Structure 1
Amino acid sequence: MKKIRGFEIVSKYENEELLLPKRATKGSAGYDLTAAVDITVPSVFKALRMNNQSETNPMSSTLVPTGVKAYMPDNEYLLLANRSSNPMKKQLAVPNGIGIIDADYYGNEGNEGEIFVQFINYGLEDVEISKGERIAQGIFSRYEVVDDEEQTFDKRTGGFGSSGR
């Protein structure tokens, strides 16, 4: 049977006992993505208070690795949405609102197509995310293109954020 869409573990996590994303219920649109590692998402307010001693940008985002990649037909993308409980319970927001994983992100040279979830912590304290904790949802969606599209496309040559210049 030919595979059309799904998830695979990224090679660097093959021996880390990660689980592939799955839907929580039959009616769930999204596949639950989990963290591949334990990671801290620092509070932007805590960082602002300490910024006098640091050269780092206190408003920077944290990329949380999932250890998985998604394959799909060329006319689809994987929409990454924050879990609805993250803003209320953990003060975690996805700074660009949603994430888009393009079909040609799979298997790219930059990171094999590993999916990362970008977070900013607007709470007063750092947030600890544990390996295996559900952090986002992935929803496969179709898209359309305009008639008579006359354009040559570059080949994707990198990982996260590589389709724009």
Structure 2
Amino acid sequence: MKKRGFEVVKKYQNANIELPVRATHHAAGYDFQAAEEVVIPSIWKSGIDLKELGKSLFTDRSRLEALLKPTLVPTGIKAYMQEDEYLQLANRSSNPLKRFLVLSNGIGVIDSDYYNNESNEGHIMFQLTNFGIKDVVIKKGERIGQGIFLQFLKADQDETLGERTGGFGSSNTEK
């Protein structure tokens, strides 16, 4: 019986995707690579006048929201694990310091029922925002983040709302 691990999603079966590995014997995280080249645009690229920034928050929120929306970087990978485990996605420590890239959601949580979901087969993607002054190009095969398998505990009065019905960013459930 398989306990936990990684597989390539069907869309990337013939794209020479490498499964995540730990960099050293004592490393907790498995390094994920980009499945394709992706440009992470600078949040400053649109040329928003900083004097007008406050006004635009109230007058043109859609433009500002589009500018600040994270970029999804595909990995071509899905993860399987036990029911009481999850895969925590974390940024590489060098990304903010050297490249001004932050993991937009702080950490990512990949639940065990995300594996092989109908929407996207459980494809893991990293949400990155570039707060630097120029665009950053992520090349195919470049390490973008890491994943750590963790076990979680349930409350005595644990109750769920139903089964997963969606994919990425989904908390859609049916009771």
Question: Does TM, normalized by the shorter one, top 0.5?
Answer: yes
Cα 1:145–1:135 shift into 2, 3 Å: same
Question: What is the aligned counterpart of 2:99 among 90, 106, 120?
Answer: 90
Contact 1:95 1:118 in 2 (8 A): yes
Question: What is the aligned counterpart of 1:60 among 66, 69, 78?
Answer: 69
Once residues 16 and 95 of structure 2 are traced to their aligned partners in structure 1, the CA distance between those partners, rounded to angstroms, is 24
Question: What is the aligned counterpart of 2:83 among 74, 84, 91?
Answer: 74
Contact 2:166 2:172 in 1 (8 A): no
Question: What is the aligned counterpart of 1:160 among 139, 145, 168?
Answer: 168
Query: Which amino acid is 1:111 matched to?
Result: N
Task: Give the SS at the match of 1:57.
Answer: helix
Query: Which amino acid is 2:108 matched to?
Result: G
Cα 1:133–1:110 shift into 2, 3 Å: same
Once residues 48 and 68 of structure 1 are traced to their aligned partners in structure 2, the CA distance between those partners, rounded to angstroms, is 35
Contact 2:39 2:137 in 1 (8 A): yes
Once residues 38 and 138 of structure 2 are traced to their aligned partners in structure 1, the CA distance between those partners, rounded to angstroms, is 5
- Structure 1 segments, 4+ long, off by >3 Å, are 48-52
Question: What is the aligned counterpart of 1:137 among 119, 128, 146?
Answer: 146
Query: Which amino acid is 2:161 matched to?
Result: F
Contact 1:48 1:58 in 2 (8 A): no
Segments of 5+ residues of structure 2 without an aligned counterpart are: 50-55
- 1:103 is matched with 112
Task: Give the SS at the match of 2:96.
Answer: helix
Query: Which amino acid is 1:141 matched to?
Result: L
Question: Does residue 1:36 correspond to 2:35, yes or no?
Answer: yes
Cα 1:77–1:93 shift into 2, 3 Å: same
Q: Which has the larger radius of gyration?
A: 2
Task: Give the SS at the match of 1:25.
Answer: coil
Task: Give the SS at the match of 1:93.
Answer: strand
Once residues 30 and 6 of structure 1 are traced to their aligned partners in structure 2, the CA distance between those partners, rounded to angstroms, is 12
Once residues 3 and 120 of structure 2 are traced to their aligned partners in structure 1, the CA distance between those partners, rounded to angstroms, is 21
Shift of 1:152: 4.4
- State the number of aligned residues: 162
Task: Give the SS at the match of 2:67.
Answer: coil
Shift of 1:154: 1.8
Shift of 1:148: 3.5
Shift of 1:48: 4.4
Task: Give the % identical residues.
Answer: 54
- 1:45 is matched with 44
- 2:20 is matched with 21
